[in-house]
Structures are given as C-alpha cells and as structure tokens.
Amino acid sequence: MSIRSFEQHTPRIHPAAYVDESALVIGDVEIGQDSSIWPMSVVRGDIQSIRIGDRTSIQDGTIIHVTHDSRFCPGGQPTQIGNDVTVGHKVILHACTVEDYCLIGMGTIVMDKAIVRSRVTIGAGSVVPPGKVLESGFLYVGSPVKQVRPLNDRELEFLEYSAQNYRWLKERHRAMSGNRP
C-alpha cells in the first residue's frame, strides 16, 4: 500500500482498517475502524481534509479529493464520509459530504458541497451537482440526479447488510495479505 505524507499531514488509519497495496492515501486523511480502501483507489487529502468513518468501503478505482482555499471557495471544502457507507467502483467524491448508511452506485460523481443525507441509495452512473442536498430515505438516479422514490424496508436493510459484508470481506483480505496500516 502507498501511504504518503503531504507537508505536515500524515494519514491516520485505524489499525483495523484495510488499505489495499495498490491504493494510494495522501495527506490529511483519517480512515476509521473496519473501513476498507480497495485496489486502485486514490484518497488525496493534500489541500483539505478527508474523513472516512467506521465500516465504510471505498471500492476499486474510486477517487476522493477536496477543494482548496480560494476566493471562489473560502476555507476550501473537505470531503466527509460517514459510517457504514458503501462507495461503488469508480466513484468520484469531490469536496462533498456523505452521511451514514448510504450506497453510492458504481461510476457516480458527487460534486463540491453536495450533501448526501443518511440512508440514501444513488443509482450507478449518476451525477450529484454542486451544492445539491439529497434527502434521507430515497433512491436517486440520473444525471443530474432526481429523487425517484422512497427506499423500501428491504432496501434500507440492504444498506446495513452491505456495510457488514465489506467488513467481513476486508478481514479475509487482511488475513491473506498481512495488511496492517
């Protein structure tokens, strides 16, 4: 795995987290307990912070970045990802907030200052425009995303199942690789 400091910031990775050896984590990044960063993902906290909660899975090829401090974005904009979140393959999360128990579908792009409230599913290939707030408990799809319908009980249950499933899978990978941050 490639863990790099940037200036005065060194990533802080919980000992029970898994970071694949082909993933790259840079700078002001925190990764919580039982979370996983899968192959070819980039988590780059060089010009602002990135916080990833507990039991959150960042799937293969995902890019997580931030926005710098400027007159266009005073103070910059961090990226915050809550607990029990499943981020699908090849997602881009840029200077946004994703709350707990969400599923971000493969190939989705979530733009600057967007907020994905807890217990949301975003369909694959969707685009969440800058500043958009997605209300809790709904399925969103499209480019730009549109609220489609409330999540049913089975879908809400799946959000918790998905997070647990990746927690178990990362343990299998840790056992095989001896991966310890």
Neighbouring residues of 121: CB distance < 8 A, sequence distance ≥ 6: 102, 103, 105, 138, 139, 140, 151, 155, 159
Q: For residues 174 and 18, what is the distance between their CA atoms, to the nearest angstrom?
A: 6
CB atoms inside a 10 Å sphere around CB 26: 20
pLDDT at 177: 77
Q: What is the pLDDT of residues 50-62, one digit of tens each?
A: 999 999 999 999 9
Enumerate the domain spans of the chain: 2-177
Domain 2-177 has CATH 2.160.10.10: yes
In terms of pTM, does the model score above 0.85?
yes
Q: What is the pLDDT of residues 13-66, one digit of tens each?
A: 999 999 999 999 999 999 999 999 999 999 999 999 999 999 999 999 999 999
> Has residue 180 got a pLDDT over 80?
no
Alpha helices in the chain (DSSP H): 153-177
Q: What is the pLDDT of residues 73-110, one digit of tens each?
A: 999 999 999 999 999 999 999 999 999 999 999 999 99
Spell 150-168 as b/e; 16+ CB within 10 A means b. ebeeeeeebbeebbeebbe
pLDDT at 179: 53
